Amino acid sequence: MRRALWRAVRGDVAHRKGSSLLLLLVVAVAAAGITAGLGQQRDAAERWDAAFAEANGAHVAVFGSPDALRAVAAEPAVAESSGPGRITLVSLGQQDGRRTDDVDARAAGPVRPAVGRPKLFGGRWLSGRDGEVVVERSLALDLGVEPGDRVTLDGQPFTVAGVALDLLDCFYPECDSATVWVPDQAMAALDPAGQGSLLLVRLHDPSAVGAFERDIQARYGTGVSHVLDWQDTRGDALVVNQFFAAFLASFGVFLLLAAGLVVLSSVSGRVLARYRELGMLKAVGFTPRSLTLLVLGENLTVALAGAVLGAVAGGFLAPLLQLRVAEVLERGGATFPAGVLLTAVAVVLVIVAAATLLPAWRAGRVPASRAIARGAGPVSTRPSRLARLAVRLHLGPPVAVGLKDATARRLRAGLAVATLAVTVVAVVVTLRFDRTVDALAANPALVGDPYDVAVDPGTVPPAEVEAALAAQPVASWFTATSRRGAVGDATFQVRALGGDMAAAGFAVQQGRMPANDGEAVAGYGLLHRLGLSVGDRLPLEVSGGRLDPRIVGWYSESEDSGEIVQLPLGALRRVEPGAGAGGYFARLRPGADPAAVKAALDRVWGGRAAVEVSGGLPDAFGAFRLAFYVITGLVLVVGLLNLVASTLLGIRERMRDIGILKTVGFTPRQLAGSVATGAGATALAAVLVGVPVGLLAGRVMVDGVGTGSGLGPGWGSSPAGLAVVAAGVALVALGAGLGALASWRAARARVVEVLRAE
């Protein structure tokens, strides 16, 4: 029996090349999507953690005076430390003068530090000779700098000895300033005063960073100017990735759903098409169980081949979708992690098996004598209301027949509509996502950066900064300085705002900006984490004192996943009377060029203050978008292939009817028109179902991502109505066109042969 079964499987797969090929393609597309998606999900977080472990990464980076940092290094909570070493902001120029960027020059010796040990990605570490530097990898990738290149630091020439990875902060340009390691002796020339130092520490208890930070800031006062902890850095580095993973996971579901529906309809169709043959197989001795196995076996054979092909293709696709984090952490190239490949193949096979089970079971229950005598059971002959309507509207018999045929097999028609509707949902969600990214790009306030130009005053006194800003086309400005605050063991960023706070332009989604020193506005992430809502009080410790502001609103913020509270500078000065204003953030008047303003301010201050133009959206969104287009494209291909397949199947089943239609006078063009009408109607139904579901799903997804990333719900944009309508019309036209193409053979079939074939 087994041999007979195998022979039947082989024969059928080879005989039905077209439908086998379609199943293979659909399964391959699904497997490719899953492999690429899974690879992506696994990537960034795992790679970051691996890189952190390999580097013996610092749990806390402490900036401050050398004396204070030496004392911090001796704290009992500290397990291991590197430094303190000198650090200062310098201007890095490329040899051809193309670009200059502010970077952190960090002193280093010929031996790489034990804590936060930079991993070399090219060239070598500092040799101890003068005139060499090592450039941080994300900066080197962005600038296109390689070992052997010449750069300048504050005008002094250096040779790039190597490129190395640093995990102190998230990657340039999302976070700056990036690091350049400079030999100790050169550092003395770059920073004669030697005020700033950096200490990298590992704690006995890495989860206790919050308490440690609070403790040293309280005890060392101004000796510790600033701290970065590994949890925040990891979160910042991976925030875009989290967006991506959430969206990708949802899209993976679309892809799987579409593939499952396609397999279900294609296998059901194959069983119907072979109905008489299945009866014959029973007549020659196949049992119901062996027939079920036969159908399962032949579909799983084809699916296995498709899944393996697709998984390999997905391995090649993954690097194209790679986000910047993964790109910085590891060299690109096709990856074929066995676990991911096996998972993808297994998931696809399970879906195919699940979708095949019902039709396979039905195949086993085919009544032999009836099947042999009459073939597949009768289709619905109830007059189709649509077809009747078409006749009433004088749309002509081809339209009426097309509509009737498209709905003749209700289950198949339903599956075809459902599959295509999944495609429509994916397209609508992509359109929404696209608009949302455009909105983010057009309005940086949505990610918590409501400014065009930022000024780190350095040694320039506030009055001078404000006077210089007043001379520029500045609409308004505010100042911000950050501290670590805590509620219980939870620590977070406390940002004290000065200047024109009301006009700052933060994207306040509920409530308002603080109007007095007793009020605060929180990022959504903080409210979410602490379980608070607008109107509650936030009793927090900051700068060694206690504040109890009332939260009067929440706003969208991507930094620290939105775990930030903003309050007036006056409130901070209640507990820290000498608190400075910090950085200046200016919004320009409409039409003003931020680059020109930066150039003008640089001329005024001659490098004493660092001026930066708002970076806009992270580059990562570019890769993000590409990934969406690719996945939506795949879902679209699957949906349309299924439409073609079910149309072809319908044509094959109705070859005889088509012959009769020709006999009574249908022209080839009318036949093509009839099939095109059916396919177009299927696409139209899918659009009518898919658009509302897509709008809803897009909203839920974007809100979900917003809640997870700190932006909060309600920040996404609706897709442009025109784009949705255009996509719908295009899909219907495409469906009708594909239907007409699929009918090509039928339209040209020779009536005599078709009618004789029975």
Partner 1 sequence: MGALVECVAVTKAYDPTRPTVLALAGVDLSVQAGEMVAVMGPSGCGKSTLLHLLGGLDIPTTGRVVMGGQRIDTLSEARRAVLRRREVGYVFQFFNLIANLSVADNVELPMLLAGCRPDEASRRRGELLERLGVDRFADRPPGDLSGGQQQRVALARALANRPALLLADEPTGNLDSAATTEVLGLLSDYHVAGQTIVLVTHDPRVGAAGDRLVTMEDGLVRADEHRNILARGA
- 367 near partner 1, judged by CB under 8 A: no
Non-local CB neighbours of 376 within 8 Å, separated by 6+ positions: 272, 273, 275, 276, 653
Smallest distance from partner 1 to CB 403, Å: 12
- Do 117 and 52 form a contact (C-beta atoms < 8 A)? no
Q: Report how many residues bind partner 1 under the rule CB under 8 A.
A: 36
Q: Given CA atoms 328, 331, 337, 340 in this order, what sign does their dihedral have? A: positive
- Do 51 and 167 form a contact (C-beta atoms < 8 A)? yes
- 383 near partner 1, judged by CB under 8 A: yes
Give the nearer residue to partner 1 in terms of CB position, either 567 or 749: 749
Give the nearer residue to partner 1 in terms of CB position, either 16 or 654: 654
Q: Where are the beta strands (DSSP E) in 65-127?
A: 78-94, 100-108, 119-123
Give the nearer residue to partner 1 in terms of CB position, either 524 or 666: 666
Q: Is 545 in a helix, a strand, or coil?
A: strand
Smallest distance from partner 1 to CB 19, Å: 21
Smallest distance from partner 1 to CB 699, Å: 41
Out of 401, 445, 460, 474, the residue judged to bind partner 1 by CB under 8 A: 401
Smallest distance from partner 1 to CB 624, Å: 47
Q: Among the candidate windows 61-69, 242-250, 388-396, 580-588, which touches partner 1 by CB under 8 A?
A: 388-396
| Measured distance CA(436)–CA(420) in Å, rounded | 24
Unique residue bearing structure tokens 């983010």: 440
Give the nearer residue to partner 1 in terms of CB position, either 96 or 758: 758
- Do 162 and 123 form a contact (C-beta atoms < 8 A)? yes
Smallest distance from partner 1 to CB 677, Å: 15
Q: Side-chain half-sphere of 540: how many Cα atoms within 13 Å?
A: 31
Which of the residues 717 through 756 are near partner 1 (CB under 8 A)?
A: 750-752, 755-756
Q: Among the candidate windows 111-119, 275-283, 380-388, 464-472, which touches partner 1 by CB under 8 A?
A: 380-388
Out of 405, 541, 559, 560, the residue judged to bind partner 1 by CB under 8 A: 405
Give the nearer residue to partner 1 in terms of CB position, either 41 or 670: 670
Give the nearer residue to partner 1 in terms of CB position, either 546 or 656: 656
Angle at the Cα of 74 (from 68 to 77), degrees rounded to 5? 115
Pairing of strands 197-203, 545-547: unpaired
Pairing of strands 583-588, 474-487: antiparallel
- Do 116 and 56 form a contact (C-beta atoms < 8 A)? yes
Give the nearer residue to partner 1 in terms of CB position, either 98 or 392: 392
Out of 381, 459, 470, 722, the residue judged to bind partner 1 by CB under 8 A: 381
Out of 222, 287, 369, 380, the residue judged to bind partner 1 by CB under 8 A: 380
Pairing of strands 583-588, 453-456: antiparallel
In what helix (H) or strand (E) does residue 158 lie, and over which residues does it extend?
A: strand 156-165
Residue among 110, 93, 111 nearest 102 (CA): 93
Q: Is 513 in a helix, a strand, or coil?
A: coil
- Do 500 and 605 form a contact (C-beta atoms < 8 A)? no
Give the nearer residue to partner 1 in terms of CB position, either 669 or 745: 669
Unique residue bearing structure tokens 């004669």: 192
- 104 near partner 1, judged by CB under 8 A: no
Smallest distance from partner 1 to CB 670, Å: 8
Task: Kindly report the backbone phi and psi dihedral angles of residue 86, in degrees, each rounded to the nearest multiple of 5, phi listed first.
Answer: -75, 150
Give the nearer residue to partner 1 in terms of CB position, either 635 or 747: 747
Give the nearer residue to partner 1 in terms of CB position, either 456 or 657: 657
Q: Among the candidate windows 364-372, 396-404, 485-493, 544-552, which touches partner 1 by CB under 8 A?
A: 396-404
- Do 681 and 408 form a contact (C-beta atoms < 8 A)? no
- DSSP character for 537? B
Which of the residues 636 through 675 are near partner 1 (CB under 8 A)?
A: 654, 656-657, 659-670
- 408 near partner 1, judged by CB under 8 A: yes
- 275 near partner 1, judged by CB under 8 A: no
Out of 206, 210, 367, 396, the residue judged to bind partner 1 by CB under 8 A: 396
- The pair of structure tokens assigned to 625 is 């978008």
Give the nearer residue to partner 1 in terms of CB position, either 396 or 570: 396
In one letter, which amino acid is 660?
I
Which residues here bind partner 1, judged by CB under 8 A?
A: 378-381, 383, 391-392, 394, 396-397, 400-401, 404-405, 408, 654, 656-657, 659-670, 750-752, 755-756, 758
